[in-house]
Structure 1
């Protein structure tokens, strides 16, 4: 059974952040290969088997299998698109400024906190991994050790951070 190739439509996908670590890129590549080589062939075989039972109009299992196959194909297209547009985050440069991929230690009101700044698809606030698009991440980008930054919160309150260390 041949699977039709459809390009992602103009409005079918949300804009993905292209910035990925090498580990995340490899993880997505592995998922794509697994979908293409294991999941899709299994789903296509299931559709073929159920199609041989005849009468598509009342064959609920066939309809569900076709839906699963469409879902797998959609995931494949999304992953291919994401990998094609990916920008691998390179190790920290020597200019000393915060950039995507940096681990930054800041103080706020005497409390010290360390954040890693990555792309939006890898954020995990519970592990102090923030996006370069987040208010704090965006404010830190381009600044150096010793500099202070101010961020306006939703309630109009301003919070000041001082950069202590950049790795």
Structure 2
């Protein structure tokens, strides 16, 4: 049997390393929060009230369904509020001394081919489009380096040289 977790224990999973968000992601979360609070949750509460008025709650599938949906919405509202409360806004561009940091867009040369990576927080990664986490092997290896540096990164069983040619 799984032991229930207190809210304080649930929030521990949101540590500082996971709270890096771009201004766009913060706005997206605010929009979702507003939509849930203004449109979706009131409709589900209305459905729950209507189902409650149908009578016997022990065999009322509509009531059970609406109650479950409301719990899911409330859980998502809690998660969004925690993310927004603990958010660390990512500033775009190079860091101190022009070094790669979270928020940098880095152009590297790998085996005579150029690749562009945007270093993001772990909540906004999309490796297919070049958005990689600061915790990923490539992202963490590039952090702190400047234009002209050659960074050796171990990929599976061999090392690959990444030459930094541009940082935005």
Q: TM-score, normalised by structure 1?
A: 0.90
Q: Which whole-Å deviations, capped at 9, do the CAs of 1:7-51 have from their partners, x for residues lacking one?
A: 735147743610111011011011011111111111111101100
- Structure 2 residue ranges without an equivalent (≥5): 1-5
Structure 1 unaligned segments of length 5 or more: list them. Answer: 1-6
SS in 2 for 1:150: strand
In structure 2, the partner of 1:3 is none
CA contact (8 A) 1:8 1:77 kept: no
Q: What is the CA–CA distance in structure 2 between the aligned matches of 1:85 and 1:144, rounded to whole Å?
A: 29
Q: Deviations over 1:42-101 (max 9, x none)?
A: 111110110011101110111011000000000000000000000011132462100111
Aligned pairs (5 A) from 1:101-116: 101-116=103-118
Aligned-partner SS, 1:57: coil
TM-score (norm 2): 0.89
Residue in 2 that maps onto 1:73? 74
- Residue 151 of structure 1 and its aligned partner are, at CA, apart by 1.2
Where in structure 1 do 4 or more consecutive aligned residues deviate above 6 Å?
none
Alpha-carbon distance between aligned partners in 2 of 1:140 and 1:15, rounded to the nearest angstrom: 24
1:111-122 alignment runs, 5 A limit? 111-122=113-124
Q: CA RMSD in A?
A: 1.8
Question: Is 1:15 aligned to 2:17, yes or no?
Answer: no
How many residues align? The count is 161
Distance, in Å, in 2 between the alignment partners of 1:166 and 1:151 is: 18
> Could you say which structure has the higher helix fraction?
2
